[in-house]
Amino acid sequence: MSDIQGWGQGEDDDLLFADEDAPDPSSANSGTVAAPWKLLIVDDDPEVHAITRVVLNDVSFDGRRLQFLSAHSGGEARAILNDHPDIAAVLLDVVMETEDAGLRLVHHIREVLGNRRVRIILRTGQPGQAPERQVIVSYDINDYKAKSELTAQKLFTTTVAALRSYQHIDAIERNRQGLETIVDAAGTLFEQRSMDRFALGVVERVAALLPRATGAFLCAVPPGPNPEDSNPEDSNPEGPGPGGRFREAVVLCGTGVFAEATGRPVGAVLPEAACADIAAALARGRSLHRDDHSVALFQTQSPGPGALFIGGHGGLPEVERRLLEIFCSRMSVGFDNVSLYEQLRLAQIATVHALGKLAEYKDEVTGEHVRRIGRWATAIARELQARGTCGGDADDRFCELIGLASMLHDVGKVAIPDQILRKPGKLDPEEITQMREHATIGGRILRDASGPVGGRSYLSMGAEIAESHHEKFDGTGYPQGLAGEAIPLSGRIVAVADVYDALLHRRPYKEAWELAAVVDLIRAESGRHFDPRVVDAFVAVLERGGPEA
Amino acid sequence: MSDIQGWGQGEDDDLLFADEDAPDPSSANSGTVAAPWKLLIVDDDPEVHAITRVVLNDVSFDGRRLQFLSAHSGGEARAILNDHPDIAAVLLDVVMETEDAGLRLVHHIREVLGNRRVRIILRTGQPGQAPERQVIVSYDINDYKAKSELTAQKLFTTTVAALRSYQHIDAIERNRQGLETIVDAAGTLFEQRSMDRFALGVVERVAALLPRATGAFLCAVPPGPNPEDSNPEDSNPEGPGPGGRFREAVVLCGTGVFAEATGRPVGAVLPEAACADIAAALARGRSLHRDDHSVALFQTQSPGPGALFIGGHGGLPEVERRLLEIFCSRMSVGFDNVSLYEQLRLAQIATVHALGKLAEYKDEVTGEHVRRIGRWATAIARELQARGTCGGDADDRFCELIGLASMLHDVGKVAIPDQILRKPGKLDPEEITQMREHATIGGRILRDASGPVGGRSYLSMGAEIAESHHEKFDGTGYPQGLAGEAIPLSGRIVAVADVYDALLHRRPYKEAWELAAVVDLIRAESGRHFDPRVVDAFVAVLERGGPEA
C-alpha cells in the first residue's frame, strides 16, 4: 500500500478508525510516558553509586521510572552530559579529580553547555571544601546536601523534587521554543507571495516545531461531496469508505520521509487507515491525533490548503498538540494573505491586459499581441539585468513592472478616429500626424491614472512607454525625436518587442513576415531604430527559444 | 514642553543624550532589580514567623532582598496569595486550622489559582500527619522539611534554592507569555488590510507585551535629510539638534497616556530630550532604551511607519528588550504586507478607472462619470444590504466588488464606430441597433478578461453589469429584454446610477438637468425602468447627502 520508507509497513491493522464519540485510544502519550527520567550520578566513590541506585531504584514519578547514568569524575560527567542533553538531574560530588571538580562541573553545565534545565543536587562528604552558605549563593545549583545528613528518605525527597522541577521547566521551555519557532515562521513565511513556496515553508516549519516527527506533508482537499455528508461511523478500512476519496488527493509538498511524495496521490504514500484519518479530521473539522501520526487542519477564509499530515512522531504530548493548533491557526492567516495576494495579482494582470487590448479592439480581438509584448519586454529586461549592460536601470522592480506596463503601450489609440485606424491604404501626411498623437495621448491617460498610486508603478512606467515606444535610437522617431539614452529604457525595449511582434503576425493592412526576415530587419536597425544593447538581449532571448509562456 | 499627564515634567534634565560609544547609563535594570523577593510564611505558630524573619533577614539573592508576608492560617494565606501573584516562595506549615490545611493550600495554589511558578517548601512539626515519602510524590511541592531538622543553614539553603528556581521559571514564563502575545498579534493583526488599523493594532499589542509601560505611540519619520547625516554627538538638548526635526513629526496613533496624542506633533507630547532619543535611534538604526522609556524601530522594505515610542516602563529587563525586538521584526513584515496590499489596491482602482474611462475618452476626458458611478453603485448596494430588501444578493463581497465592477459598465463602447458615438443628432434605427451592441460586447470583453481570475471578481461582475445595465425592470430594455429579478441586481443598481449621473451632467448632446427633475424622473420610473427597491435605496442615499467621496 505505502512505499514511503518507514511508513505503512504492516501498520494497517493497528490503525483502526476512531469512533467519533469514543475516547481516542491514542490520547495517552504512551510514547512519551514510557521514557524514563535520566539521573546522572557523579562521584569518585563507587560505593556511593551503588547505594544511590539501591535507594532510588524503585522511584517512579509521573509514571516514569529512573534511568541511571554514572560518572566517576568531572571529566567523565562532561562527556555524558554532552551526549545526553535530556538528563533531568545530577547528583554531584564536589571533591573528585580536583578539590573543586564538582563546582567546576556546575559552571561547565550552566555556562559552557548553556543547560539551565537540568537540576543539580550537590552532595559533599567534605563540607569544609564547599561551605554550604557560600556555595548555594554563588553556584547555580538546586540543592545542597552533606553526605552525612543524606538519609534514604532525604535522597528520595530531593530527587523527586528535582524531577518535578525539571518536568515543569522542560515543559515551559519546550512551549517557549515552540512559540519561538512559530514566531519565526510568521516572520519569514509571511513575506512569501507565492502559494507553493508558502506551503513548502509551512511544512518545513512544522518539522522544526515537532522535531521527533519523521516527515510531514500538505495535501489538497479533493473536489467532491462535502466530507461532512459522509458518516465516519460507516467507514470500513477494507472498503472504499471516506478514506477512499482521499487516496486520490495529491500531496502538495512534503518533508522528511515525504520529501519525494510531492505530486503523488496520498493513497500511494499512506496506508488506507491513515487516509481515512485525513478524511475523518476533515469531516469533524478538527485535528486528529494517533499514536504515531496526526492530521491538522487550517481554518482559512479562502479555499484552503487542505490537511497537514505529520507522521512518525511517536505520540504528541499535550504541549505539542497545542503548539500545533496555534501554528495552524497562525498559518491559516498566511494562507489567506497569499491567496488574497494571488487573487489581486491575477485580477490586476487581467485588468491591465483588458485595458491594453481595449485600444486594439478594433483590429485585434484576442489581445494576444498585447500579451506577447508583455512577455517579450519582461524577458528582454531580465536579460539586460543579467548582462548588466544597462547598469542600474534594469533593476528588479523594473523587471517586475515592465510586463504589465508594456501591455499599455498603445492605449492612446482609443482617441484616434476609426477612419484612420482602419484605413486599408497608406495614410496621408495629415492622417500620419493625427495617428502619431496616440503616443502623447496614451502617456497622458496613464500619467493621469498613475497619479493617485504614487511612486513607481506599472501605470507610471506605462505612461513612459506609451510616450516613448516610437522614438528611435538615432533621434529620428516621434513624438519628441529623442535619441540614445534620453529615450527611457522601457521605451527602447518595447520598441524592439513591438516591431518584432507586429511584423511576425498578420494585420489587416499587412501579411505576416518570416521570422528570419524580421530578425534581419531588427539586426539591421541596431544603432539606428533600436538600442544595440536591447537588440543583443533580444537576440539572446530569441536564441534560447523566446520568453517563457 | 510636554502636556501629556505623567510625561515630561522636569525630566529634561535627567535625560542626557547618550554617547554612541559610551555604555548606556540605563542598561542596568535598576527599576526591576530594586524590587525585593516576596516570601510568604504560613504558620499558626507566631514564634515560627519571628524566627524565620530573624534567620532570613539578611538573605540577598541576585542583588534583591526579601520582603516577608505572614499568614497564620490556610484561609489567610489564600487571601494574600490572591493579592500577590508574584510571591516567589511559600514556607508552609501543614497542621493549622485543620490537620491538612497546608496540603489543601498546596492544591489551592496549583489547581485553583493555577500558580505553578511559586516555590512551595513544606515544613511540618508533625511529620506523622504528612508522611514525607507520600507527600513529596503526591503534592506539587518543591521541598519537604521536618521542623526538627530545619537548622538556620538548611532554611537558608532551601530558601535560596527556591528563589533561584522561581527566578528561572518566572523568566521563561514571561518570555513564553511575551511570545504568545506576539504569536497572537501575528494571527489577528496580519488579517488587517488597512494601514491605520494595523498601526493601531501594533501599538495596542506592544502595550500588552510590556504591561508596565504607561503608553506607547507610533510616529512617522518626518521628511528631510537622512538622519544618518546628522551626527548625534553634536546634539545639544538646548539647541534645535537632531531632536528638533522630530518635534515636528506627527503621532500616527497612541495608547495609554498617549491615547489622545494622535495627530499631534511629537514635540507637543514629549520633552525635547525624548524627541532627541527618537532621532538618535533612527540615526543609529537600532533601538534605544532609557530608564523610563524606549524607542524601537521597524525594518520595513516599504516606506516605514517610523519609530515606536514606549513610555513609563520603569526600565526594560533584557527579556523584554528581546521580546520587543522580536515583536518589531515580526510587525515589520506586517507593515510591508499592508503596504503592498494598499499599493496593489490603489493600482487596481487606478487601472480599472482607466479602463472604464478609456471607452468614454472620446466624449469625456476627466473620467469623473465613471468614478461617480462607482461611488453611487457602492452606496446603493450598502444601503440595500442594510435594509435587507434584496436578501442575500447584496452581501459583503457584492458591496466590495460593485464599486470597481460598475466603472466598467460601458467598456463595450470602444467597439462602436466614432460616427455613431459622436453623432450630434438623433440616431437612426440602424445606428441604434449598432449602438446597443456595446452592452453585449462589453460583457464579452470582461468575461474574457475574468476567465483566468476565476471565481467571483470585479471583472465577472463587470461583465454582468455591462450586459444588463440597459435592461428595464418591466422587460422593455435591451439587449435581452429581461424583467424583474431576472436582471442581475448589479445591473439594476447601475441602471439607476447611470441614468441619474448622465442626466445630472452635461454631455455633448444634452444639457445638465436640475436635480429635482432627475429625481422626479427616477421616482416616476420606479417599477417601470427601475427596480423599486433600488430606487428606494437610491433616494435614501440621496437624502443623506449622497455617497461618501
ipTM above 0.90 for this complex: no
Which residue among B144, B179, B357 places its CB closest to the CB of A176?
B179
Domain count, chain A: 3
**Which of A167, A160, A128 is closest to A143 using CA atoms?**
A160
Mean local confidence (pLDDT), A175-194: 84
Q: Are residues B323 and B471 in the same domain?
A: no
Residues 183-212, chain B: which have Cβ within 8 Å of A? 183, 186-188, 190-191
Distance from C-alpha of B455 to C-alpha of B473, rounded to nearest angstrom: 27
- Are B337 and A337 within 8 A, CB to CB? yes
Q: Are residues B91 and B23 in the same domain?
A: no
- Are B358 and A419 within 8 A, CB to CB? no
Tens of pLDDT, residue by residue over B181-196, are 888 887 778 888 788 8
Which residue out of A150, A341, A351 would a mutagenesis test of the B interface target, given it has the greatest number of B Cβ atoms within 10 Å?
Answer: A351
Using pLDDT thresholds of 50, 70 and 90, give the confidence band for residue A358: confident
* Sequence-ordered list of residues with C-beta below 8 angstroms from that of A151, at least 6 positions apart, any chain: none
Q: Are residues B271 and B133 in the same domain?
A: no
Q: Are residues B299 and B425 in the same domain?
A: no
pLDDT of residue B362: 55
Query: Chains A and B: how many Cβ contacts under 8 Å?
Result: 216
Phi and psi angles of residue A416, each rounded to the nearest 5 degrees, phi first: -90, 130
- Are B350 and A450 within 8 A, CB to CB? yes
Q: Are residues B436 and B480 in the same domain?
A: yes
Residue B453 has pLDDT above 50, yes or no: yes
Tens of pLDDT, residue by residue over B496-540, are 999 999 999 887 777 899 999 999 999 999 999 999 999 999 999
Q: Are residues B312 and B400 in the same domain?
A: no
Per the prediction, chain B carries an average pLDDT of 84
The C-alpha cell that represents B401 in the structure block:
466588488
Hey, is the C-beta of B348 within 8 angstroms of any chain A C-beta?
yes
Does residue A498 form part of some domain?
yes
Hey, is the C-beta of B329 within 8 angstroms of any chain A C-beta?
yes
Taking CA atoms, B323 is separated from A84, B24, B174, in Å, by 30, 19, 10
Q: What is the CATH number of the domain that holds A256?
A: 3.30.450.40
Taking CA atoms, A174 is separated from A168, A179, A202, B405, in Å, by 10, 8, 19, 51
**Stretch among A188-197, A244-253, B242-251 having the lowest mean pLDDT:** B242-251
Residue A308 has pLDDT above 50, yes or no: yes
Q: What is the 3-state secondary structure (H, E, C) of A353-377?
A: HHHHHHCCCCCCCCCHHHHHHHHHH
- Are A337 and B340 within 8 A, CB to CB? no
Neighbours of A208 (CB within 10 A): 15
Asked whether the bond before B85 is cis by omega within 30 degrees of 0, the reply is: no
pTM value is: 0.73
Cell 525527597 locates to A157
Q: What is the CATH number of the domain that holds B14?
A: 3.30.450
Hey, is the C-beta of B139 within 8 angstroms of any chain A C-beta?
no
Tens of pLDDT, residue by residue over A324-355, are 998 998 888 888 888 888 888 888 888 877 77
Strands A119-124 and A143-146: parallel
Compute the nearest-CA separation of B347 from chain A (Å).
6
Residue A247 has pLDDT above 70, yes or no: no
Compute the nearest-CA separation of B517 from chain A (Å).
33
Contacting residues of B for A157, CB less than 8 Å apart: 132-133, 136, 143-144
Does residue A398 form part of some domain?
yes
Contacting residues of A for B340, CB less than 8 Å apart: 341
Q: Quote helix, strand, coil % in chain A, to nearest 5.
A: 55, 10, 35
Does residue A352 form part of some domain?
no
**Which of A456, A340, A358 is closest to A408 using CA atoms?**
A358
Hey, is the C-beta of A45 within 8 angstroms of any chain B C-beta?
no
Phi and psi angles of residue A218, each rounded to the nearest 5 degrees, phi first: -105, 140
Phi and psi angles of residue A161, each rounded to the nearest 5 degrees, phi first: -60, -40
- Regarding predicted confidence, which is higher, B12 or A295? A295
- Are B161 and A144 within 8 A, CB to CB? yes
User: What chain A residue is nearest to B61 in terms of C-alpha separation?
Assistant: A137
**Which of these three, B125, B142, B171, is where a domain ends?**
B171
Catalytic residues of B: 413
**Which of these three, A109, A136, A171, is where a domain ends?**
A171
Q: Residue B422's Cα: distance from chain center in Å?
A: 52
Residue B156 has pLDDT above 80, yes or no: yes
Which residue among A153, A169, A418 places its CB closest to the CB of B418?
A418
Which residue out of B397, B453, B460 would a mutagenesis test of the A interface target, given it has the greatest number of A Cβ atoms within 10 Å?
Answer: B453
Mean local confidence (pLDDT), A409-418: 84
Residue A270 has pLDDT above 70, yes or no: yes
Q: Is the dihedral of CA B126, B130, B136, B141 positive or negative?
A: negative
Does residue A197 form part of some domain?
yes
Tens of pLDDT, residue by residue over B44-89, are 999 999 999 999 998 999 999 999 999 999 999 999 999 999 999 9
Tens of pLDDT, residue by residue over B196-212, are 888 889 999 998 899 88
**A143 strand-pairing partners:** A121
Cβ–Cβ under 8 Å, residues A366 and B448: no
Mean local confidence (pLDDT), B160-174: 93
Cβ–Cβ under 8 Å, residues A182 and A323: yes
SS3 state at A391? helix
Mean local confidence (pLDDT), A240-268: 79
Neighbours of A216 (CB within 10 A): 29
Tens of pLDDT, residue by residue over B306-339, are 889 999 988 888 888 999 998 998 888 888 888 8
Does residue B119 form part of some domain?
yes
Does residue A8 form part of some domain?
no
Q: Are residues A56 and A155 in the same domain?
A: yes
Does residue A251 form part of some domain?
yes
- Regarding predicted confidence, which is higher, A57 or A319? A57
**What b/e string do you get for A303-326 counting C-beta neighbours within 10 Å, with b at 16 or more?**
ebbbbbbbbbbbbbeebbbebbeb
Which residue out of A141, A151, A183, A411 would a mutagenesis test of the B interface target, given it has the greatest number of B Cβ atoms within 10 Å?
Answer: A183
Hey, is the C-beta of A548 within 8 angstroms of any chain B C-beta?
no
Which residue among A157, A341, A347 places its CB closest to the CB of B459?
A347
- Are A157 and B168 within 8 A, CB to CB? no
Q: Residue A432's Cα: distance from chain center in Å?
A: 54
Rg of chain B in Å (alpha carbons):
36
Contacting residues of B for A445, CB less than 8 Å apart: 354, 357-358, 361
pLDDT of residue A351: 81
Q: Are residues A132 and A202 in the same domain?
A: no
Using pLDDT thresholds of 50, 70 and 90, give the confidence band for residue A521: very high
Tens of pLDDT, residue by residue over B286-306, are 899 999 999 999 888 776 668
pLDDT of residue B1: 42
Hey, is the C-beta of A139 within 8 angstroms of any chain B C-beta?
no
pLDDT of residue B107: 96
Using pLDDT thresholds of 50, 70 and 90, give the confidence band for residue B91: very high
Q: What is the CATH number of the domain that holds A514?
A: 1.10.3210.10
**Which of these three, A129, A144, A171, is where a domain ends?**
A171
Domain limits at B281?
A: 1-34+191-328
Distance from C-alpha of B430 to C-alpha of A357, rounded to nearest angstrom: 27
Contacting residues of A for B182, CB less than 8 Å apart: 183
- Are A351 and B351 within 8 A, CB to CB? yes
Tens of pLDDT, residue by residue over B238-281, are 334 445 556 677 888 999 999 999 888 888 899 988 988 988 88
Tens of pLDDT, residue by residue over A379-389, are 999 999 999 88
Percent of chain B with pLDDT over 70: 86
Which residue among B183, B358, B415 places its CB closest to the CB of A355?
B358
Q: Are residues A461 and A382 in the same domain?
A: yes
Phi and psi angles of residue A427, each rounded to the nearest 5 degrees, phi first: -85, 145
Does residue A333 form part of some domain?
no
Mean local confidence (pLDDT), B356-382: 79
User: What chain A residue is nearest to B158 in terms of C-alpha separation?
Assistant: A143
Hey, is the C-beta of A110 within 8 angstroms of any chain B C-beta?
no
Contacting residues of A for B358, CB less than 8 Å apart: 355, 358-359, 411, 414, 445
**Stretch among A179-188, A274-283, B352-361 having the lowest mean pLDDT:** B352-361
User: What chain A residue is nearest to B60 in terms of C-alpha separation?
Assistant: A137
Hey, is the C-beta of B422 within 8 angstroms of any chain A C-beta?
no
Q: Are residues B209 and B86 in the same domain?
A: no
Q: Are residues B315 and B395 in the same domain?
A: no
Q: Are residues A321 and A364 in the same domain?
A: no
pLDDT of residue A393: 86
pLDDT of residue B302: 72
Hey, is the C-beta of B144 within 8 angstroms of any chain A C-beta?
yes
For residue B401, give the amino acid letter: L
